[in-house]
Amino acid sequence: MAMAGLYRRVLPCPPAVDFASTEGKQLFLEAIQNGTMEGFFKLISYFQTQSEPAYCGLASLSMVLNALAIDPGRKWKGPWRWFDESMLDCCEPLEKVKAKGISFGKVVCLAHCAGAKVEAFRSNHSTIDDFRKQVMACTTSDNCHLISSYHRGLFKQTGSGHFSPIGGYHAGKDMALILDVARFKYPPHWVPLPLLWEAMNTIDEAPGLHRGFMLISKLHRAPALLYTLSCKHESWVTISKHLMDDLPVLLSPENVKGIKDVLSSVLSNLPSNFVEFIKWIAEVRRQEENGQNLSDEEKGRLAIKEEVLKQVQDTPLYKHVTSILFSENSVCQSNAASDSSLANVAASICCQGAGLFAGRSGSSDRFCCLQTCVRCYRATGDNSATVVSGTVVNGNGEQGVDVLVPTSQVKTSCCPSGQDRCSPMHPASNDVLTALLLALPQHTWSQIKDTMVLQEIENLVSAENLPPLLQEEILHLRGQFLLLKKCKDNKVEEDLAAPPF
């Protein structure tokens, strides 16, 4: 049966006050003078209308993430990285959200996965006084925004559960400004804060839990090496399960007698899609570094990524991982060998070169490359030559190999003129594995029975001994591991706290 078309709804006033009305404008001016509209201007710059009737949670979150200038780390359309509702596709399938909406806990999960700092409170775990304090804190700053989950019925509006950001606060009248993302239905409006609290202090029937509010702000620094975990990315899910659930069991046997045994247990049981995960990470970096006309801010972020990668490679754990990963008869000959990240392509080139020198035309089967370096040399005019250098090992020892790569039409990333040094590599298998092992919760290793081995591995993975930049990266990744486990165990509704480090 055909449905009649609707063009907006009449905003019930009272209890609401239309933002564009004479009274609404007066409230706005007075709130500006009192300093409780600071967050409004960034929010209004990115104010959007939800693209689906049930996308209020996604629209509210994407609006806030853009207002906080959080880089999603992946493209929206064309070359642009930008948060859109369609980008918030982990934690809950978009088709399910489109059909049934999204719960408070899943929006909190999405905010974490998007790389934001989140503090969430259900109404039965908070008070109206605490809520008022948090509204005051967010509306007097542009570094924090508040999303409210409430029931429209208490405002005499049509509909039921809804999400929208709070754009401002009038202390004298104790009223909050709701920037309603259902702009096709109701305009922005002021509501009495006590009534908003009552609307939040209701039960969402689907999970059977109270609604509430969340404070969203920007992390001190965006994750640099491994980016943000995705509940949707299947390789993240399986790798997380392997490291968080399977690894402690693998470390429990009595025959784990040394660091080599510990790391071999990890490396020899890697999920089959680990290679796809490495390819994904390398491709993200490759796309970033091939970008044209990078801004100073983007160049700065890339410099941080390079420094984090260098600090990973300076850790004692990295040396152990590299030694085992690229030893003969190890995953170097299987999983890692099929990795097509730039570092492994360079390693393959060096191994093939070593095979040629040894008289085995084009063969690399008996060689493994421990280190690689790419240099770009400029000749006269626009001509350039790329040299791949590496340290190659086989049963007779190790040797250095330099291979001249034929020039192609594809532009290469060259070292700055006058600098004879390696260009930064994209993260390879040993880089990623080292970071993942450093990020695992401390209890992961508790099943190791040999106390000396346990102490040695705990020293190797201790975040306390890391440089501040890498320590921040590892602690963020550790929190993301725990968050991903919550999502997959369906515990985000019960436990809204940020994942502990």
Q: What is the pLDDT of residues 405-464, one digit of tens each?
A: 544 433 333 333 333 334 444 667 788 888 888 888 877 888 888 888 888 888 888 888
Known active-site residue 339: no
User: CATH number of 17-218: 3.90.70.30, 1.20.1260.10, 3.50.30.10, 3.40.50.300?
Assistant: 3.90.70.30
Q: 468 to each of 154, 305, 435, 475, how far by Cα in Å?
A: 49, 14, 14, 10
Residue 66: the pLDDT is: 95
Known active-site residue 162: yes
Query: Please, is 119 exposed, middle or buried when counting C-beta atoms within 10 Å of its C-beta (0-12, 13-18, 19+)?
Result: middle
Residue 433: the pLDDT is: 83
Among 65-79, 100-114, 283-297, 409-423, the minimum mean pLDDT is found in 409-423
User: Between residues 7 and 42, which one has the greater pLDDT?
Assistant: 42
Catalytic residue among 56, 138, 231, 487: 56
Q: Place 223 in a pLDDT band, splitting at 50, 70 and 90.
A: low
Q: What is the mean pLDDT of residues 73-93?
A: 83
For 487-500, the pLDDT digits (tens) are 666 676 666 665 55
How many CA atoms, within 13 angstroms, populate the side-chain half-sphere of residue 433?
A: 28
**Among the listed residues 260, 262, 240, 292, the one whose alpha carbon sits nearest the alpha carbon of residue 90:** 240
- Does the pTM exceed 0.75? no
Among 258-262, 340-344, 482-486, the minimum mean pLDDT is found in 340-344
CA 346 to CA 94: how far, in whole Å?
Answer: 39
* Contact (Cβ atoms closer than 8 angstroms) between residue 357 and residue 400: no
CA 374 to CA 265: how far, in whole Å?
Answer: 32
Q: Place 220 in a pLDDT band, splitting at 50, 70 and 90.
A: confident
Residue 488: the pLDDT is: 66
Residue 217: the pLDDT is: 93
Q: In what helix (H) or strand (E) does residue 479 lie, and over which residues does it extend?
A: helix 468-488
Residue 411: the pLDDT is: 38
CA 316 to CA 55: how far, in whole Å?
Answer: 47
Q: Across the chain, what does the average pLDDT equal?
A: 77
Q: What is the mean pLDDT of residues 173-199?
A: 96
Among 150-154, 173-177, 207-211, 271-275, the minimum mean pLDDT is found in 271-275
Residue range(s) of every CATH 3.90.70.30 domain in the chain: 17-218
Residue 140: the pLDDT is: 94
Q: What is the mean pLDDT of residues 470-482?
A: 81
User: Between residues 173 and 351, which one has the greater pLDDT?
Assistant: 173
Q: Place 355 in a pLDDT band, splitting at 50, 70 and 90.
A: low
Residue 415: the pLDDT is: 36
User: Between residues 225 and 168, which one has the greater pLDDT?
Assistant: 168
Known active-site residue 56: yes
* Long-range CB contact pairs, 466-474, < 8 A, 24+: 466/311, 466/315, 466/438, 467/311, 469/304, 469/307, 469/308, 469/311, 470/308, 470/311, 470/312, 470/315, 472/220, 472/221, 473/223, 473/224, 473/225, 473/226, 473/308, 473/435, 474/435, 474/438, 474/439
CA 180 to CA 153: how far, in whole Å?
Answer: 15
Neighbouring residues of 168: CB distance < 8 A, sequence distance ≥ 6: 28, 31, 36, 37, 39, 40, 139, 176, 177
Neighbouring residues of 310: CB distance < 8 A, sequence distance ≥ 6: 424
Residue 224 has pLDDT above 60, yes or no: no
**Among the listed residues 93, 83, 115, the one whose alpha carbon sits nearest the alpha carbon of residue 216:** 115
Residue 191: the pLDDT is: 96
Q: What is the mean pLDDT of residues 197-211?
A: 92
Residue 114: the pLDDT is: 83
User: Between residues 309 and 275, which one has the greater pLDDT?
Assistant: 309
Residue 387 has pLDDT above 70, yes or no: no
Residue 287: the pLDDT is: 54
Residue 375 has pLDDT above 60, yes or no: no
Catalytic residue among 90, 145, 151, 180: 180
Report the share of the chain in percent with pLDDT over 70: 68
Catalytic residue among 112, 162, 189, 320: 162
Q: Place 21 in a pLDDT band, splitting at 50, 70 and 90.
A: very high
For 296-352, the pLDDT digits (tens) are 777 777 787 788 888 988 999 998 888 887 664 444 444 443 444 445 555 555 555
Report the share of the chain in percent with pLDDT over 90: 32
CA 58 to CA 166: how far, in whole Å?
Answer: 15
CA 327 to CA 32: how far, in whole Å?
Answer: 65
Among 91-105, 276-290, 293-307, the minimum mean pLDDT is found in 276-290
User: Between residues 268 and 420, which one has the greater pLDDT?
Assistant: 268
CA 306 to CA 201: how far, in whole Å?
Answer: 47
